[in-house]
Structures are given as structure tokens and as C-alpha cells.
Amino acid sequence: MLWRYKPKADQYTLLLLSFLLYRRVQLLGVDEEFEKTKNATIRVLKDKLPLCKRFGAAVHIVYFHTIVIAAVIIFLTMLVYMAHNFINVIS
Amino acid sequence: MWAFFKLLSVLIHDKNKNLFTTKLSDKINKPETNIFFQLALWCLIYLETPMMIVLVLMGLTIKMDLYHVGLLFFFVFYMIAPRKFNKNIKILLLYASFFIVEKYIYTLVEVILQNNICCMVDGKPTGVLNHVYIWMEALGFDTRY
């Protein structure tokens, strides 16, 4: 009865992720050693999985196009919203 | 899944930093290493992205208190200086674990106060205790959200 509080799932997720990041920083560091391990992992994965290269390139293209399209949509929405408010103000 | 658990067990149990890193770099360069282990390591390398998404989504909940605002501050610190943030990641770990333990303790204290009839009227705090409850809510120490 006393232990009725159940921490939310996001609290445990944050704890797990921060622990993993903490251990990664402890083991691989943040500067040169980490960059070395990162490059080695990516190189080996590209050698092992040739499809990775194409897939990675496709993901990058889709990702950056999505960002640009979203930015344009947000900008146009902002303009429409401002115009709408401006009409309300002057009328 | 197996590779993830293997990586997690290695992360938890291996305390010798230099030995592990040398082993790890040897392991990566060998072609006979399990591909799933390498993929799990690759996920670990790019861990910051889900971490920051979790921080922002947690920080933007409906409940606005110091705990959730603090998470947004952590996100801002990461955006300003990612390497410094990674070097001081222990602070975030302590922050996350402290609030889980603290909310358990808060529940125990709340149960004790609810059993004390002088403090509560119809299950609601009165007098000074009401102000304490409000402050606890503002600081993010309470459990109602």
C-alpha cells in the first residue's frame, strides 16, 4: 500500500538513456578516441553491408528534403496567420 | 536484441576502461565480428538523438514545474555545447535518478500525512501544509501529473 507511486515510463527511459550515454562517454571518451571508434564502425559497416551506403544516402536525402519542406510550410503558415491577425486589427 | 543485451552486459560489468577500449577497437576492425554487435555499437554512437527527443518531449508536458523546465535546460545546454554536455553527463544521470527516488519518498510522507487527521480535512491539506504542497508542486517534487 505504501509503495503506490509508479514512476512514469519516460522517467525510466531517461534514466536508461543517460546511463548508456554515461558509460559510452566513460569508455569511448568524447574527443579523438570517440571519433576514431565512430569512423571505424561506420567503415566496417559499409564494407559489410554495401546496401548501407545507398540506404544511408537515401535517408539523408529524405531527411533534408523533409526539413526544407517543413520550414517552408511553417513560414507560409506564419505569414497567413500574421495576415489574418493584421486584417482583424485594422477592421 | 541479443546484441543489445550483450552490449548492455559488457557496459555494466567491464570496469577496466583501457582494456575494454583496446578490445573494442580490435573487435570493430575484425571482419568476423558479429554484425549485430557492430550495429548495436553504431546505435550507441548515435545515442544523443533519441536522448534529446526524450528530453524535449518530457520537458514539454502539460505539467509545468521546475523538474520539467530543468529537462528543457539540459536540452539547451546540449545544443550550446554538446561535448561539454557529454563530459558532464553524470549530472543528468544524478538528476534523473534523484527525482525517481525522491518521488517514492514523497509518496511515503504523503501517506503518513494523510493518516494524520490534524493535517488533512477531507483528504485535502490545510493551513501551512497547503502552502508546502503548493511549493512541492511548483518544484516538481509531487507525484500528481
State the DSSP string of chain A: --------HHHHHHHHHHHHHHHHHHHH-SSHHHHHHHHHHHHHHHHH-HHHHHHHHHHHHHHHHHHHHHHHHHHHHHHHHHHHHHHHHH-
Whether B39 is covered by a domain: the verdict is yes
Q: How much of chain B, in percent, has pLDDT values that exceed 90?
A: 20
Q: Which three cell numbers stand for residue B84?
A: 561539454
Domain boundary among B45, B65, B80: B45
Whether B71 is covered by a domain: the verdict is yes
Under an 8 A CB cutoff, do B93 and A18 touch? yes
B41/B110 same-domain check: no
Residue A3: per-residue pLDDT: 54
Please, what's the b/e burial string for B76-111 (b: 16 or more CB within 10 A of its CB; e: otherwise)?
eebeeeeeebbeebeebbebbeebeeebbebbeebe
* Phi (first) and psi of residue B30, to 5 degrees: -80, 135
B89/B37 same-domain check: no
Residue showing cell 527516488: B101
Residue B25: per-residue pLDDT: 62
B72/B25 same-domain check: no
Question: How far off is chain B from A30, nearest CA to CA, in Å?
Answer: 6
Instruction: In whole angstroms, give the CA distance from residue B88 to residue B90.
Output: 5
A3 in contact with B, Cβ within 8 Å: yes
pLDDT digit string (tens) for B2-45? 666 666 666 665 555 554 555 666 666 677 777 787 788 888 88
Whether B65 is covered by a domain: the verdict is yes
Which residue range is the domain that position B40 belongs to? 2-45
pLDDT band at A60 (very low <50, low <70, confident <90, very high): confident
Under an 8 A CB cutoff, do B45 and A24 touch? yes
Residue B91: per-residue pLDDT: 94
* Phi (first) and psi of residue B125, to 5 degrees: -75, 150
B41/B28 same-domain check: yes
Residue B19: per-residue pLDDT: 46
What residue of B is the nearest CA neighbor of A22?
B89
Question: How far off is chain A from B127, nearest CA to CA, in Å?
Answer: 25
Residue B134: per-residue pLDDT: 85
What is the overall mean pLDDT for chain B?
79
B28/B82 same-domain check: no
Q: Could you please report the per-residue DSSP string of B9-69? A: HHHHH---HHHHHHHHHHHHH-TTS-HHHHHHHHHHHT-HHHHHHHHHHHHTSS--SHHHH
Chain A residues touching B6 at Cβ < 8 A: none
Per-residue pLDDT for A2 more than 60? no
Is the whole model's pTM more than 0.95, yes or no? no
Instruction: In whole angstroms, give the CA distance from residue B29 to residue A43.
Output: 9
Q: How far is CA B79 from the centre of its chain?
A: 18
Higher pLDDT among residues B101 and A89, named by residue? B101
Per-residue pLDDT for B124 more than 50? yes
Residue B11: per-residue pLDDT: 63
Residue A61 CB-density burial (10 A; 0-12 exposed, 13-18 middle, 19+ buried): exposed
Per-residue pLDDT for A69 more than 90? yes
Q: Which of B73-77, B87-91, B111-115 has the lowest mean pLDDT?
A: B111-115
Task: Give me the number of domains chain B comprises.
Answer: 2
B41/B59 same-domain check: no
B18/B71 same-domain check: no
pLDDT digit string (tens) for A8-50? 778 888 999 999 999 888 878 888 878 888 888 888 887 887 7
**Which has the closest alpha carbon to B70: A48, A14, A23, A59?**
A14
Whether B144 is covered by a domain: the verdict is no
Chain B residues touching A5 at Cβ < 8 A: 103-104, 106-107, 143
B58's CB contacts (< 8 A; 6+ apart) are: A10, A14, B68, B71
Per-residue pLDDT for A82 more than 90? no
